[in-house]
Structure 1
Amino acid sequence: MIFKKLKNRYNVIILTYILVFVVILFRLATIMIVQGEEYREQAENRIIKTIPLPAARGEIRDRYGRLLAGNRPSFTVQIMKNEVIDEKINEVSLKLINILEKNEDKYNDEFPIIFSEEGEYVFTYDLEIQNWKERNDLLKAGTAQEAFEMLRRRYGIEETDPGEVQQQLIRAMGTVPITISRQPFQFIEEMRKEQWLQSYNITDKELSAYEAFQIVRNNVYKIPEEYSDVEARKIMVVRELLRKQGYLQYQPVRIAQDLSEASVTEIEEKIMSLPGVNIAVEPVRYYPEDQRAAHVLGNLGKISQQNEIDKYVRELGYLPSDIIGKTGIEHSFEETLKGQDGSQRVVVDSRGRLIKVLEIEDPIPGDGVYLTLDANLQRVAEETLEEVLKTLQAGGTYEGRWGTDRLVSRWGPLDNATSGSVVVTDIKTGEVLAMANYPAYDPNLFATGISSADWNSLMPENERDPLAPRPLTNIATSTAIQPGSTFKMIVGLAGIEQGLSPNYRILDRGFIQVGGHSFGNWLWNQSRRTMGYQGLHEAIADSNNYYFYSVANGYDYGSGRYLPIKMNTDILTKYTKMFGLNDRTGIEIQVPRERSGGVPSIENKTRTIKAMLRRHLERQMKLDDLDDTKVEATEEVLKETIEQIVSWAEENPSRGEVYRRMVDLGIKEDRANIYTDICKYSYFTQARWSVADTMNFAIGQGEHSYTPLQMANYMAILANGGYRYNLSLVRKTQSYDGESITEFPPELVERIELKDYKNLDEVNYGMYLVNKTGSARSYFRDFPIDVAGKTGTAQRSGKIPPVDEIQYLKQHLRAWGVSEAAVEHKMAQLMEENKDNPRYEDESFVMREAIKALNPRANLDQFKRDYDNYAWYTGFAPYDDPQIAISVLIFQGGSGGYGAPIFREIVAEYMGLNTVVEQDGIMIENRLTP
């Protein structure tokens, strides 16, 4: 009967369902009754977590694979935002920060209200502005606009266009934390403060730090009163980081990196009372050679600027707590070096202990970047540069492997020779083999976020001095100055390209008189001697100014007749630009932006003269100079009047016309008479190109300005037959597994257009003689390799500003015959009379004006030291088979020859002269015989 029923399909289906149901009931009974306690414990005590696995940053290596930037493992403490119980967040945050502080571990503190030593509540934004003002003697500047104007006057910047002024200030100071994109100008920290307040819906920008603190504490985070404000701030440090994470609940928030063993142990011991907290192992950037190639490698930092947030967080999906490249290769190749983070799904118990790994998605390390640098050559360049600078400062003897050199000027030790740069390039590819700057810094300081103390240690001791040592400044890319005599080869080449024989000899008569100016050969200026008849080769070797004055003007001043060639400024400018001296070099590191230098021109000169005139009139013209019967005597009218006068510079009207126009503008007749002579004869007549300008052009002075990178490239073009390459620091990038390689081949820009490329040989022979019979012969007397080089001394006018201008002035009041009481009284009077003039917000400016009013004959800068000259040494080696080009620049180095020992030691290293070899069982240096 049963079997008959089973033959019925319907009954079979019913029986099947019954059996399945019974099995399910049995399994449920087993789970709920027999194993219920075990599963209940797992459900309560085991948690599935997704732990991020940060990718290692790609390594940076030199051309031979030697490590320059790598990674090391470190402990990181994180909070998983989606695992934090709301009612526990305050307790967890406070416990965690207390542990870190007890063990002196740095943590990410981005909450911008702190307590001063006096217990006051202070915005970190305001503190940054205040500290910057103090360092730069700008405490009298109430606003960013006033600070900007005070700096413009202090550094003698004649331009008034804010963008150009800002660029010049950046070149002089390194950084200027003022944005000119808003009117009125704002400190960048002011903008950040506004953005932070707005993020909490606080619209009152005038709130005190205390008021803002209480609003965030009580209204936003609702931190109970049982916590003190000090404790509340620690809580808000963590909650600020969690808040910035936004909607990314599943992503961990990094609280601190590179933890000490003590902190890791204590956190692990207390993990049950720290829900959501996790210890992870993450790679941290490290630089095994410390300061080596710091300006090439660059540094890291937190994502902080709005443009960084927009690009990296919103566009590329970075975490807000990620560290990114800020400068150098670390910045330029950030996306290449970054890598792809992985993750690990694990089961942990209630104590946070690992039970089981469910799934791992391995991180993918970033691609490696292989530089063109030779680490050994870089080391020699850096060490030799530092040693020579310190020898110059002491006025002693430099003992190199390939020569002993007495580095003492006629005026004694060059104690301000504290900065310099060296660039070495491969002339056949444009690859940069070494780029050294001194002083430098240790990029390890930035690996997990630099502390305030470390940051301040990298600031110049005298912010007011543009040549004060600045460790963060890449001199090679960002400092453009006159090349001095190293420019003369271009003038000589232009001359022989126009048809002048290199053997044409010009008689040096010592000096050339042009109007009221005397342009002397350096030997005449130094000892009233002359060099006699010289052709191109001897003129380069001995750096004969007289010869190049003549060639540049197309006139033989020695014989009083025209040279048999056509020569003018346009021709000189054309050849200068051929060598890339008006262009950027193409180098990959563009933060800070590479300077392009500048070739002198009538347009640039006119713009400079107009800016100088504007500044002079702004300083001298007052409302009392305006005839109030003709015009309204207001600051706005005065400003418009000055602009009108400045606009006449290019036209250069006659004296009578200038006077008539000034009277028509409403300037009192007696004052118009004075200003007419000033404008006409001191400025308008200078706003055109003159023979004197060509004289300065010829010897690399005046308005020339080129970087060490540009100068090295110029040397390479001379040496390689006229081929101009873009300079490069990167050879290739390569994936961690070596399967993907991107090459960066040399980029040939052009072969410069010359009438006869053999003319390059003529100027190069002159450079060869520099080290044989000329100005640098003593440095290469025993050197076994023939090289081509050129010394250059570029004038740096002006006085070195003291750290504290007011203290300096007070110190010398007696010498100027005035008393402090009289000066203070006069200052008060001037400030009252000019209370609407922002220039009188600057106390040092007012004090100078007061002293001059009391004693018009006082020379207020007489006790300040003069700047020493820049020293250049440039060239290539070997002479007979050129391979590398080198430029050496020393700030306040006195004489160009002082860069020659650095050049020599670099050539020795490149050519393998320092290689140690075994001979007859003895290790000896591979020295070539002369």
Structure 2
Amino acid sequence: MVDKIKEWIVKIVTSRLFVLWVVILALFAFVLQHLFTMQIINGAAYLKDYTYSIQKTIEIEGTRGNIYDRNGVLLAHNELSYTVTLEDNGTYANNKERAKLLNEEISTLIEMIEKNGDSIVNDLDLYMDPSGELSFNVDGTELDGFRRDVYGRKKVSDLKFNAKLGYDESTATPEQMYEYLVNKFAVDTETYDRYRAYQIMVVRYAMYLTSFQKYIPTNIAEDVSDETVAIIREHASDLQGVEVKEDTKRVYDYPEYFSHILGYTGKISDSEYDDLSAQDDSYSKSDIIGKAGIEQVMELQLQGKKGAETVYVNNLGKVLQVKDYKDSSAGNNVYLSIDATLQMAVYDLLEQELAGILNSKIVNAKTSESSELYIPIYKVYNALIENSVIDTSAMADAAEGTTQASVYQTFTNRKTEALTDVANTLQSDTAYEDLSDEMQEMVTYVVKMLQDKSVFLTSAIDSSDSVYKDWKDGKISVQEYLRHAIDSSWINITEFDLNEKYADTDEVYQQLISYVTDKFQNDKAFDKIVYKYLIYNDKISGSQLCLILYEQGILVQDDESMASLKNGSTSAYTFLKNKIQNMEITPAQLALDPCTGSCVIMDPNTGELLASVSYPGYDNNRLANSMDSAYYNALLQDGSLPLYNNATQQTTAPGSTFKMVTASAGLTEGAISTGTVITDTGVFDRLGLTLKCWVYPSNHGSITVSQAIRDSCNYFFAETAYRLSLNGDTYNEDKGLSAIAKYATEFGLADKTNIEIPEGTPKIADEFPIDASIGQSNHSYTTSQLARYVSSIANEGTVYDLTLLNKVTDSDGNVLQTYTPEVHNQITDLSASTWEVLHSGMEMAIGEHDQFKDLQVKLAGKTGTAQEDEKRPNHALFVGYAPADAPQIAIATRIAYGYGSSNACVFVDQVMKYYFKQNTEEELLNGKATNVGTSSNSFGD
């Protein structure tokens, strides 16, 4: 037995496999020893090193500084809020599973958020309305940048034709970009409806933009309700990576009054990041910054200093331990030169005046043939739909038996017919000029819609083409025009489902018709055309629309008024006139002329800006922090243009408010003297002109220059311009223009005021000196520029640059910087007698206006009426200062399409009574429209 064992051992040892086995056993022992050392002896240490091996520095945002008015009234500040965040820190088997589960979780999260009336953050520049219609929120270079980011290109110039996608990335349509992003994030459009797929895409795109910073969560919803906080925390265990954190939101206390001045905050764009980071390297691509107004202008002052914390994170980016912490600090506070109380009072008074003018012009008719440009009540009915006062989308879900449900049924029936009518007209040979008004408007919109969708390539149109000219003249059918457009390659057929290589004109045209009718199924603009003609054809009544105002909560519930509308004891005409008079329906809502205005008030002694009012304003709270895309889109579509600053951006001719410049030029250049008498014959007919004085067929007789300012005599100033243009006995137009431009420049009208926010570019007339002398020709100035001009008349020659700023302090109230208006130039050419003429003429002018008859302060001023469009009312203007003998304020106002300067006078009278405390605020701001007459003209304008 022993021998056998020995023999077996010898056999094994001498075997060629023995060495291999020894090596295997040795390696196995080595591995066991190391596993024991790593897991048992040093396991805890290795685990710690692994877990904490990734060290990151997380920024802590500083609190944004506050904005105050000149007296310390708080205008913008921060409040505590709750933000729902999502961090992509789950573990998945593969990317397909990740996309599926992540999209499911986002959909669930959206449902929880919206259940409590909150909404997700949507910073995407691609907007979808609830009906599924897509549009861009940006244009120009911003849209180019958006396309660059979506398609992952480094530069805009890298955008190219994408053979795989079948289109050029640089001209991608909203629909193409939507489909690209939905596919990119694997959003299942069979599982989710179109709008929910869009919402998921919005969240996924936001996460994608910060994916390189995996440990930083993405904000899904901001400023959410306590109910949303509760439901999310309740389901926290089921929501991977979802948290609710304390945050701050930017709040504006008086939004509509100051929106154009303050602006709003929002997420930084790439271009803004490049600009700001060049000045301060602490900026990151996730920062919230000022996007407009003072918020943007004073960004570097308002932005708080960031803190930081150094953390250890695991391989999934989960923060496990905080190592170092540095607290953030608040930004500086900014004080404006504006007096908040004055600003708000003037805004309210301006709204009252607009409502009064509007109310006085509404007549109980379907159309108006009057040269006075009255407003037929049917136009008011239609405005309720046209300017989206009534939410037509909401009517689709209205309860049975309501007025909304009845009106919506009428609409759907007619829309079905209208779509058929459009399709038939597109296949008809009827010339455009022979179509009904309704069908003309519909087919015009067909062409416009095709152009807006980049199906009809306007850049390809040959304007000399005979068919194109016939279409513009209404001589041919829309079918002939569009077929010609197809043959001329003006139509982008890639939008259609056909084989481009073999498609003929007939096939393409049939696809075009299908495209149009399909798009019109959910086209709000087309719907509004349908509603318009239902209203004008009395298929939808004014009373029904008034009742819908109550049903949709636009008007406060009033059972008595509703009953009187239903039984016919109160007509829709009377009802709406009353609501406009009481400003329950505002001019801004209707967007009918007049619906906009502006007023700028400054101290002529210091140049300080006291008020800069633009009506209408908007709620910048809904654009701050995370933008309310639906609200922003509504502002873009609003006919009253609430995003536009009428005080600093709107430029129009100054009308007769310019005549003090012409007087100054005439007196200083020697064309006239203070004693010169010119006889107004009613019509200035030199040079073959027939310029009528405003009192024609009467006239002002023989008057001096100060009397001409008083009477705003067109003839006198036309004669002055003629004399300025004489070179000996020869009329030289350039000489007259040069003289007028010289003094307009002296009064600051050649340059912007240098106010910090966007400002229109002024233009001194460079043609027709006779027209230019009375403020017409191609003069063009903003209200703020006219305010600076009249201020320099009040103070006899000091032209100030404007500033909205007063001072900057730190968070403890220490003054860091002060701002005072700088002198733009000093007028030295005008003599004392010339200043006296200007002042006396403006003082006498006020006495010619009954609107100021009970004003107790002595006012000097000049009215103006400027025509821009023969089919719309004239602009109403006024410039002046008070008290006339010791000016404290200078004022300029413009009521766009305000009919006549008498209306501007009514408004200025109210402002003066408020400022000089002649009437109490309650007496002036009584919540009712100012009672004005219907005069379309006033002295000299």
Deviations 1:704-732 (A, max 9, x none): 11110110000000011201110110011
Equivalent in the alignment of 2:760: 595
SS in 1 for 2:135: helix
1:233–1:701 Cα change, 3 Å: closer
Distance 2:881 2:688 in 1: 39
**1:887 aligns to 2:904 (yes or no):** no
Deviations 1:380-412 (A, max 9, x none): 110111110110011189xxxxxxxxxx99665
The equivalent position to 1:580 in structure 2, one of 730, 733, 748, is: 748
Aligned to 1:307: 271
- In the alignment, does 2:83 pair up with 1:76? yes
Inter-partner Cα distance in structure 2 for 1:555 and 1:330: 47
Aligned partners of 2:223 and 2:249 also within 8 Å: yes
| Whole-angstrom distance in 2 between the partners of 1:600 and 1:391 | 33
- Shift of the 41–480 alpha-carbon distance from structure 1 to 2, 3 Å rule, reads closer
Change (3 A) 1:235 1:784: closer
Matched residue SS, 1:280 = strand
Aligned partner of 1:805 in structure 2 is none
Q: 1:740 to 1:259 in 2, by over 3 A?
A: same
For residues 631 and 761 of structure 2, what CA distance do their matches in structure 1 show? 31
Counterpart for residue 192 of structure 1: 146
**Alpha-carbon contact 1:585-1:710 (below 8 Å) kept:** yes
Q: Which amino acid aligns with 1:781?
A: K
Instruction: Tell me whether 1:730 sits opposite 2:805 in the alignment.
Output: yes
Match of 1:498 in 2: 669
Contact 1:770 1:788 in 2 (8 A): yes
Report the TM-score, using the length of structure 1 for normalisation. 0.61
Instruction: Quote the offset at 1:248 in angstroms.
Output: 3.6
1:320 matched to which residue of 2?
285
Structure 1 pair 795–98 and aligned structure 2 pair: CA distance change class (3 A): same
Partner of 1:262: 227
Aligned-partner Cα distance in 2 for 1:599–1:112: 38
Contact 1:555 1:562 in 2 (8 A): no
Structure 1 equivalent of residue 109 of structure 2: 99
Are residues 1:790 and 2:795 paired? no
User: Could you report, residue by residue, the CA deviation over 1:533-586 in whole angstroms, capped at 9, with x for unpaired residues?
Assistant: 1112211111111111122222899xxx999xx983322211111011110101
What residue ranges of structure 1 are gaps of 5+ in the alignment?
Answer: 1-31, 133-174, 180-187, 398-407, 462-467, 606-692, 799-865, 918-930
- The residue identity in structure 2 corresponding to 1:68 is L
Distance in 2 between residues matched to 1:111 and 1:422, nearest whole Å:
35
3-state SS, counterpart of residue 522 of structure 1: coil
Contact 2:106 2:203 in 1 (8 A): no
By relative contact order (CA 8 Å, sep 6+), the higher-ranking structure is: 1
Specify the SS of the correspondent of 1:74: strand
Q: 1:279 corresponds to which residue? A: 244
Query: Aligned residue for 1:448?
Result: 625
Compared CA separation, residues 503 and 115, structure 1 to 2 (3 A):
closer
Given that residues 660 and 709 in structure 2 are in contact (C-alpha distance below 8 angstroms), is that contact kept between their aligned partners in structure 1? yes
Post-superposition CA distance 1:410-466 (Å, at most 9, x none): 6656961111111111112222111111122111110133333212321345xxxxx
> Per-residue CA shift, 1:351-406, capped at 9, x if unaligned?
x9999987653321221111010011101110111110110011189xxxxxxxxx
- Equivalent residue for 1:695, pick from 750, 770, 786: 770
Q: Alignment partner for residue 877 of structure 1, among 859, 862, 882?
A: 882
**Contact 1:581–1:596, Cα closer than 8 Å, also in 2:** no
In structure 1, what residue type is equivalent to 2:723?
G
Query: In structure 1, what is the equivalent of residue 613 of structure 2?
Result: 436
Is contact 1:554–1:562 with CA below 8 Å preserved after alignment? no
Picking from 336, 357, 365, the partner of 1:371 is 336
Aligned amino acid, residue 509 of structure 1: T
CA distance 1:222–1:549, shift in 2 (3 Å):
closer
Contact 2:339–2:610 (8 Å) recurs in 1? yes
Distance 1:112 1:493 in 2: 51
Q: For residue 489 of structure 1, what is the amino acid of its counterpart?
A: M
Say whether residues 1:569 and 2:737 are aligned partners.
yes
Same amino acid, percent of matched pairs: 32
Q: Classify the secondary structure of the residue corresponding to 2:691.
A: strand
Q: What do the CA deviations read for 1:181-201 (whole angstroms, capped 9, x no partner)?
A: xxxxxxx64663354213499
Give the distance between the partners of 2:57 and 2:106, measured in 1 at CA.
Answer: 21
> Quick check: 2:69–2:339 contact (8 Å CA) kept in 1?
yes
- Which range is displaced more, 309-318 or 340-349? 340-349
Classify the secondary structure of the residue corresponding to 1:585.
Answer: coil
SS class of match (1:905): helix
Q: Is the 8 A contact 2:361 2:374 kept in 1?
A: no
Contact 2:876 2:895 in 1 (8 A): yes
Segment drifting more, 705-714 vs 321-330: 321-330
Q: Is the 8 A contact 1:99 1:266 kept in 2?
A: no
Correspondence for 2:790: 715
Structure 1 598/260 Cα, relative in aligned 2: closer, same or farther at 3 Å?
same
Q: CA RMSD in A?
A: 4.5
User: Could you give the per-residue CA deviations for residues 285-317 of structure 1, whole angstroms, max 9, x where no partner exists?
Assistant: 11111211211111333334x422433478744
Contact 1:377 1:910 in 2 (8 A): yes
Q: Is the 8 A contact 2:706 2:841 kept in 1?
A: yes
1:483 is displaced (CA, Å) by: 0.6
Aligned to 1:423: 600
Distance 1:575 1:198 in 2: 55
Q: Which residue of 1 aligns with 2:73?
A: 66
- Matching residue's letter, 2:275: K
Letter in 2 for 1:508: D
Select which of 698, 702, 707 maps to 1:538.
Answer: 707
**Are residues 540 and 52 of structure 1, via their aligned partners in 2, closer, same or farther at CA, if it must alter by over 3 Å?**
same
Amino acid at match of 1:74: S
What secondary structure sits across from 1:458 in the alignment? helix
Pairs within 5 Å for 1:22-101 = 53-80=60-87, 85=91, 90=99, 91=101, 94-101=104-111
Q: Deviation at 1:901?
A: 2.2
Match of 2:657 in 1: 486
Per-residue CA shift, 1:315-364, capped at 9, x if unaligned? 74434343332221112112222212334679999xx9999987653321
Asked whether the 8 Å contact 2:112–2:231 carries over to 1, the reply is no
2:915 corresponds in structure 1 to: 910
Q: TM-score, normalised by structure 2?
A: 0.60
Report the secondary structure of 2:887's partner residue.
coil
Note the C-alpha offset of 1:70: 1.3
Match of 2:542 in 1: none
* Aligned residue in 2 for 1:706: 781
- What does residue 392 of structure 1 align with? 357
Deviation (angstroms), 1:258? 1.1
Amino acid corresponding to residue 676 of structure 2 in structure 1: Y
Name the SS of the counterpart of 1:727 in structure 2.
Answer: coil
Question: SS of the residue aligned with 1:301?
Answer: strand
The equivalent residue for 1:513 is: 685
Cα distance in 2 between the residues matched to 1:872 and 1:240: 49
SS of equivalent to 1:340: coil
CA distance in 1, matches of 2:129, 2:825: 60
**Do the aligned partners of residues 879 and 226 (structure 1) sit closer, same or farther apart at CA in structure 2, a change above 3 Å counting?**
closer
Report the Cα offset of residue 49 of structure 1: 9.9
Letter in 2 for 1:95: E
Distance (whole Å) between structure 2 residues aligned to residue 94 and residue 51 of structure 1? 29
The aligned amino acid for 2:351 is E
Aligned length: 638
Contact 1:54 1:282 in 2 (8 A): no
CA spacing shift, 1:313–1:697, aligned 2, 3 Å: same
Cα distance in 2 for partners of 1:547, 1:251 equals 72
SS of 2:257's equivalent in the other structure is coil
Cα deviations by residue, 1:84-122 (Å, 9 ceiling, x for unpaired):
546696545642442233331322346788999899xxx
| Kept after mapping to 2: 8 A contact 1:264/1:279 | yes
Do the aligned partners of 1:92 and 1:274 also contact (CA within 8 Å) in 2?
no
| Partners of 2:634 and 2:197 in 1: CA distance | 31
